[in-house]
Amino acid sequence: MKQDILERFFKYIKIDTKSDESSESFPSTKKQYDLLNLLKAELTAMGLKAEIDEHGYVMATLPANTDKKIPVLGFIAHVDTSPDMSGENVNPQIWKNYDGGSIVINKELNLVLSPELFPEMLEYKGDTIITTDGTTLLGADDKAGITEIMTAVKYLVEHPEIKHGEIKIGFTPDEEIGRGVDFFDVKKFGAKFAYTMDGGGVGELEYENFNAAKLTVSIQGRNVHPGYAKDKMLNSMLIAMEYNALLPVNMRPEYTEHYDGFFHLISMNGTVENSTITYIVRDHDRAKFETKKKTAVECADFLNKRYGEGVVKAELKDQYFNMREKVEPVYHIVEIAEKAMVELGIEPKVVPIRGGTDGARLSFMGLPCPNIFAGGLNFHGKFEYVPLESMEKATKVILKVIELYTQRKW
């Protein structure tokens, strides 16, 4: 299984699937079809009924091989990689029997993956670590999840003596830019419950995520020749800086953890005449989330009183909400995943997602969908890595969850 995982993972990460937030198409990049079509073909070759629809969603069915009434269970992962860094020409490196020290991933660029900066590395001493070469991201988010689902399906196909109910497989595009399930047909997918394989380190199990909104602040300045600007000029860039200074400093991502929410400045563009600053606003608590959105508007109102009505405009767009309220009524799906880990000797770490997944939106679309670890760490950048053994454990968790669903009295 481990060798199969390694070969499959390398095959998938070699395919560039970076999504593009500026694109208006769906999927946002045509190159995502390169992997989507491959997955559809591989599932078909395994004997599953698989299809890809006009939006790029791959859906497949592994029929039940028992007469026992078991809820239809789904497993989902996304094919796209983050726009934050290139995913083209990924050159993975293998570091066997990791000794707990620093890993020089690129000597020329002086890039070192060090446990001093990333202490969680020490949890994987003795494992085979897969890194980038420092010029791209790795793509474990979420090609590790894809690998694990595909490996588990192959194992079930090759071992028909393992009894299971009907299993649904789903692969989605554009998760990284928040559009992953915009056109996902939950009814067509046909699962009662599902899991996304899109978490981090071994043992992570998540059924809570941020409430999320995008904040766009537009500033209309007034450009006047600087030699004659007194009492006339409004420099939109300086007003943008004032706006940012009004937001609570302790609510920036670098000062928050666990259930803390934040305002995260993600882009700034401007001239004297016009500027735009963009944030993502996050909080697990719905009331605190709404308060943050109110604060964003109040900061704009404050500056408009100083500089004139309409100079600063704050626009908020909700992106997704905390899936907890949809998962708690069927909490057994979390308990089954926990039990699966325990039986495999893995300590479950039930933690809130400091982000979002397709599962959050799917839960509000009628498909309760917690998130199970896929094994990768340091997502979206050149220091991304994944232990091979973590992907193996995640694959076994999938198989164990299926086994427990089969054993349970429904």
The bridge status of strand 103-106 relative to strand 93-95 is: unpaired
Lay out the sheet containing 211-220: strands in order across: 262-270, 274-283, 211-220, 312-320
How many Å apart are CA 19 and CA 87, to the nearest integer?
A: 10
The bridge status of strand 58-62 relative to strand 167-172 is: antiparallel
15-38: b or e for each residue (b if 16 or more CB lie within 10 Å)?
Answer: bbbbbbeeeeeebbbebbbebbee
Lay out the sheet containing 49-52: strands in order across: 49-52, 58-62, 167-172, 73-78, 193-199, 371-373, 204-206, 349-350
By the 8 A CB rule, do 388 and 6 touch? yes
Tell me the pLDDT band of 105, cut-offs 50, 70 and 90.
very high
What's the pTM value of the predicted model, to 2 decimals?
0.87
Q: Which residues pair with 196 in a beta bridge?
A: 76, 371
How many Å apart are CA 378 and CA 399, to the nearest integer?
A: 26
Gyration radius (Cα) of the chain, Å: 23
Region of poorest pLDDT, from 18-27, 197-206, 338-347, 349-358: 349-358
Tell me the pLDDT band of 67, cut-offs 50, 70 and 90.
very high
**What mean pLDDT do residues 389-395 have?**
98
Query: pLDDT (tens digit, 9 = 90+) per residue, 273-287?
Result: 999 999 999 999 999
Domain 2-208+322-407: which CATH class?
A: alpha beta
Q: Which fold has domain 211-320?
A: Alpha-Beta Plaits (3.30.70)
| From 16, 42, 80, 176, active-site residue | 80
Angle at 122 between CA 255 and CA 195, to 5 degrees: 70
301 in active site: no
51 in active site: no
> Do the domains 211-320 and 2-208+322-407 match in fold?
no
Residues in the chain: 410
Please give the pLDDT value at position 16: 98
Please give the pLDDT value at position 349: 95
Mean pLDDT computed over every residue of the chain: 96
Please give the pLDDT value at position 314: 98
Residue 357 has pLDDT above 90, yes or no: no
Residue 356 has pLDDT above 80, yes or no: no
- pLDDT above 90 covers a percentage of the chain that reads 96
Q: Is 344 helix (H, G, I), strand (E, B) or coil?
A: coil
Please give the pLDDT value at position 353: 86
Q: Where are the domains of the chain?
A: 2-208+322-407, 211-320
By the 8 A CB rule, do 252 and 263 touch? yes
The encoded tokens of residue 280 equal 């993502």
Which single residue is written with the structure tokens 């090759």? 158
Residue 337 has pLDDT above 80, yes or no: yes
Residue 355 has pLDDT above 90, yes or no: no
Amino acid at 328: E
| From 141, 166, 174, 175, active-site residue | 175
Please give the pLDDT value at position 268: 96
CA distances from 407 to 42, 68, 119, 205 (A): 29, 9, 39, 21
Query: pLDDT (tens digit, 9 = 90+) per residue, 107-162?
Result: 999 999 999 999 999 999 999 999 999 999 999 999 999 999 999 999 999 999 99
The widest CA-to-CA distance across the chain, in whole angstroms, is: 85
Tell me the pLDDT band of 354, cut-offs 50, 70 and 90.
confident
Amino acid at 354: R
